[in-house]
């Protein structure tokens, strides 16, 4: 009979004997594998923290105590044992369970967490707040007080904010527990000296002997039968001895973290439930900051996830097929198991199984990786970097080919951008591939070390705009607004693979300052496959559909019907704009321009449209505040033009939660249907261009004829 049910809570967990917890851990893994095989999601990181999550909830009461996740994509087991199993079958959708901690789902979730490195600092704030409110745990004085735990992992301990948090955590005069989940991985292999330090520790022959060696030390301390007893009875001497034990002769966690003022223990086995519960049970009552170093296996319990934890960090939907029967899919893949009840687990796949991630088409990420490889092959000055996302950004394609000219620096976006500035200063052409949402962490460096210096650092913004199932924590919605403030910057967006390649080539030769190009987590559209893609020209848009409004200004002949509205699209909404225009072809004639640049924008085009009184619709997969549409409005005002015919479309001033990208675009009103509505409103809300025969404004050059497709 299943242990895990839709109503299961940590109170139920604490009623179970420790001997029953491995069975619960197995059920949790089976539910996670079954669901992610259908919907996609974060697989390997969640499989690796099942026992650790169970032990934390077994020892602490997080309805009262505080649990802060540093890495939100490790929260699936936490959610399943806090009453959310029924939401799992709609994982990463509005109706189901978010893939990250979500306070609106449960009081057990304190923060929406999607950016690594933040957990220790926010936990320090909670700790100080509880102290000021006289609610913090104090042994013998306030034993009922709140305790604080933060769980950090996937190599985010190397993030600069995490180090700042540790530096401040050591000054706390109260209980404060940092659990370091060390799985030897980030999203992919971790990078840098700190990760190498932990590698040495994990490979030490003393690994696994910590508990025994620490006990031997404690036996020599009067009353030192427990960690608590040793600490409280022998004070700093016991602390030093326990740290020495944890350091296993100077090579352990204590040798690093004691410099931050934290009492430190470990590493211990993160899959040994009795040992975890015993250590946490003792650590919960130590009234000063401490760190417990836990060693786990990413993808634990699922053979294919363990053997390739990078590929299965966050896979799309996949199927599992028995090698002996190629036509037979495992039940977990097609969802037949447990179809009658989400509480019915399926067997985990182990030997004799082939796993196939379902193809989705050619992505912008794949197109970017191929383009970077080709560019680095023909230009020895091009260098590339990413911050812990080599697979997610496509940089994994160049790392093995150009190990001296490409780097993964780990979860350190600020460092990455500063390093790129240094390379630019020495004459190289640096490209930083980064998720749009994570670029925000490096904006100060984009300002100070790149733009202010006039250095040509090149930003390649993957996952721009709405990102689908990852939801609000990962949307890239403010990069254009941020970068537009930087003098001399060239800010671009791609609409398909040819435009991405043309944009990257423009950046390669653009040396006047910082440049960026954004593109979504999506499949590249073939809509313009039969249309030549011209080279990017600084600040110039490109006509991609309908009559050319500017033809007459160039002295070209007019042979097309009147234009009812012009769409200036920044990025992939241009493809949906084409769909909308084709749907309305019998009602309206629409010109669509791929804007290409949000800075500098095509002011000549804007002047031409507005002086000919043609309504402009701007559309972008970005916040409508400060984005491309705002740039068009500002340009109209600076040219003293009437901006009343400008309609802006973009992301609303509200949070858009997890769901499919298609549903999110529809919610924002920037899908084909939303653009069609905007066309009807803009074209119908003003006298149509074909009807306007009155005197044009002086800025129109004194023309006195009906406004045609060319003006």
Tokens of 94: 């509005």
Report the chain's C-alpha Rg in angstroms.
29
3-state secondary structure at position 624: coil
Q: Which residue, chain included where needed, has tokens 């933060």?
A: 150
> How distant, in Å, are the alpha carbons of 378, 463, 507, 629 from that of 481?
33, 16, 20, 10
| Residues 50 and 78 sit within 8 Å (Cβ to Cβ) | no
Is-catalytic flag, 413?
yes
| Residues 413 and 434 sit within 8 Å (Cβ to Cβ) | yes
Burial of 5 (0-12, 13-18, 19+ CB in 10 A): middle
| Residues 2 and 27 sit within 8 Å (Cβ to Cβ) | yes
**CA 74 to centroid of chain Cα atoms:** 13
- Give 169-194 as a 3 state SS string: HCCCCCCEEEEEEECCCCCCCCCCHH
Is-catalytic flag, 51?
no
Beta bridge partners of 619: 569, 649
Which among 32, 61, 58 has a CA at the least distance from the CA of 45? 32
3-state secondary structure at position 138: strand
List the strands of the sheet with 646-651, edge to edge. Answer: 542-545, 590-594, 565-570, 616-623, 646-651
As a whole number of angstroms, the distance between CA 482 and CA 626 comes to: 8
Query: Strand 429-435 to strand 382-386: parallel, antiparallel, or no bridges (unpaired)?
Result: parallel
Which among 212, 175, 140, 218 has a CA at the least distance from the CA of 60? 175
Helix 227-247 crosses helix 273-283 at what angle (to 10 degrees)?
A: 120
Burial of 261 (0-12, 13-18, 19+ CB in 10 A): middle
As a whole number of angstroms, the distance between CA 26 and CA 35 comes to: 14
Which among 601, 669, 671 has a CA at the least distance from the CA of 632? 601
Residue 153 has what DSSP assignment? E
As a whole number of angstroms, the distance between CA 410 and CA 494 comes to: 27
**CA 134 to centroid of chain Cα atoms:** 36
Is-catalytic flag, 667?
no
Q: Is the peptide bond before 563 cis (omega within 30 degrees of 0)?
A: no
Residue 710 has what DSSP assignment? T
| Residues 208 and 269 sit within 8 Å (Cβ to Cβ) | yes
| Residues 262 and 169 sit within 8 Å (Cβ to Cβ) | yes
Helices (H), 60-103: 76-80
The catalytic position among 92, 295, 298, 397 is: 298
> How distant, in Å, are the alpha carbons of 529, 531, 589, 594 from that of 499?
11, 11, 25, 10
Q: Is the peptide bond before 600 cis (omega within 30 degrees of 0)?
A: yes
The catalytic position among 413, 449, 620, 667 is: 413
Q: Which residues of 598-622 are buried (b: 16+ CB within 10 A; e: fewer)?
A: bbebbbebbbbbbbbbbbbbbbbbb
**Dihedral pair phi/psi, residue 58, rounded to 5°:** -70, -35
> How distant, in Å, are the alpha carbons of 391, 392, 520, 523 from that of 361?
16, 15, 14, 6
**CA 417 to centroid of chain Cα atoms:** 17
Query: Strand 458-462 to strand 429-435: parallel, antiparallel, or no bridges (unpaired)?
Result: parallel
The catalytic position among 66, 211, 330, 441 is: 441
Enzyme catalytic residues: 298, 413, 441
């Amino acid at each position: 009979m299943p242990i895990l049910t839709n109503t299961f809570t940590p109170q139920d967990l604490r009623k179970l004997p420790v001997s029953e917890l491995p069975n619960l851990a197995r059920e949790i893994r089976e539910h996670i594998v079954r669901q992610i095989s259908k919907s996609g999601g974060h697989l390997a990181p969640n499989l690796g923290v099942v026992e650790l999550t169970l032990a934390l909830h077994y020892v602490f009461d997080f309805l009262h105590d505080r649990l802060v996740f540093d890495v939100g994509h490790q929260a699936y087991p936490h959610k399943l044992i806090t009453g959310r199993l029924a939401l799992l079958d709609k994982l990463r959708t509005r109706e189901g369970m978010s893939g990250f901690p979500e306070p609106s789902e449960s009081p057990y979730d304190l923060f929406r967490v999607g950016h690594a490195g933040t957990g220790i600092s926010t936990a320090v704030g909670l700790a100080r707040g509880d102290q000021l409110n006289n609610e913090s745990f104090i042994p013998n004085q306030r034993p009922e007080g709140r305790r604080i735990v933060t769980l950090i992992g996937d190599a985010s301990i190397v993030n600069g904010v995490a180090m700042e948090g540790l530096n401040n955590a050591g000054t706390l005069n109260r209980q404060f527990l940092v659990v370091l989940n060390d799985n030897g991985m980030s999203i992919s292999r971790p990078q840098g000296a700190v990760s190498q330090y932990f590698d040495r520790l994990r490979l030490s022959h003393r690994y696994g002997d910590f508990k025994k060696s620490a006990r031997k030390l404690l036996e020599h301390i009067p009353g030192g039968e427990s960690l608590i007893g040793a600490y409280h009875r022998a004070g700093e001497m016991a602390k030093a001895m326990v740290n020495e034990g944890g350091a296993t002769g100077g090579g352990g966690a204590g040798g690093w973290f004691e410099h931050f003022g934290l009492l430190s223990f470990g590493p211990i086995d993160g899959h040994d439930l009795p040992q975890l519960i015993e250590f946490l049970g003792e650590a919960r009552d130590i009234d000063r900051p401490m760190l417990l170093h836990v060693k786990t296996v990413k993808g634990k319990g699922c053979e294919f996830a363990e053997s390739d934890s990078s590929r299965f960090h966050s896979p799309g939907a996949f199927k599992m097929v028995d090698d002996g029967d190629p036509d037979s899919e495992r039940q977990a893949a097609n969802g037949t198991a447990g179809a009658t009840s989400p509480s019915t687990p399926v067997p985990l796949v182990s030997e004799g199984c082939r796993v196939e991630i379902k193809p989705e088409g050619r992505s912008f990420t794949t197109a970017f990786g191929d383009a970077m490889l080709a560019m680095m092959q023909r230009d020895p000055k091009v260098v590339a970097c990413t911050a812990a996302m080599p697979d997610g950004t496509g940089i994994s394609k160049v790392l093995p080919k150009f190990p001296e000219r490409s780097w993964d620096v780990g979860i350190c976006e600020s460092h990455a951008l500063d390093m790129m500035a240094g390379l630019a200063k020495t004459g190289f052409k640096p490209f930083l591939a980064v998720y749009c949402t994570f670029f925000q962490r490096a904006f100060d460096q984009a300002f100070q070390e790149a733009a202010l210096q006039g250095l040509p650092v090149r930003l390649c913004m993957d996952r721009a705009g709405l990102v689908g199932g990852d939801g609000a924590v990962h949307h890239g919605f403010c990069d254009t607004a941020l970068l537009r403030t930087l003098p001399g910057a060239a800010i671009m967006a791609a609409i398909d693979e040819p435009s991405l390649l043309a944009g990257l080539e423009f950046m390669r030769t653009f040396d006047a300052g910082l440049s960026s190009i954004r593109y979504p987590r999506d499949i590249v559209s073939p809509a313009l496959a039969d249309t030549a893609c011209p080279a990017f020209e600084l600040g110039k848009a490109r006509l991609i559909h309908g009559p050319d409004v500017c033809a007459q200004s160039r002295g070209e002949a007019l042979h097309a019907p009147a234009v009812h509205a012009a769409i200036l699209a920044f990025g992939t909404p241009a493809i949906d704009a084409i769909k909308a225009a084709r749907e309305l072809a019998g009602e309206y004639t629409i010109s669509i321009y791929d804007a290409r640049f949000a800075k500098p924008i095509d002011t000549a085009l804007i002047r031409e449209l507005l002086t000919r009184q043609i309504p402009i619709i701007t559309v972008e997969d970005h916040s409508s505040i400060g984005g491309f549409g705002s740039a068009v409005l500002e340009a109209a005002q600076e040219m003293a033009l009437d901006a009343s015919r400008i309609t802006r479309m973009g992301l609303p001033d509200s949070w858009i939660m997890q769901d499919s990208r298609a549903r999110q675009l529809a919610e924002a009103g920037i899908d084909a249907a939303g653009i069609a509505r905007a066309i009807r409103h803009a074209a119908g809300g003003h006298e149509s261009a074909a009807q306007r025969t009155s005197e044009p404004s002086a800025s129109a050059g004194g023309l006195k004829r009906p406004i045609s497709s060319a003006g």
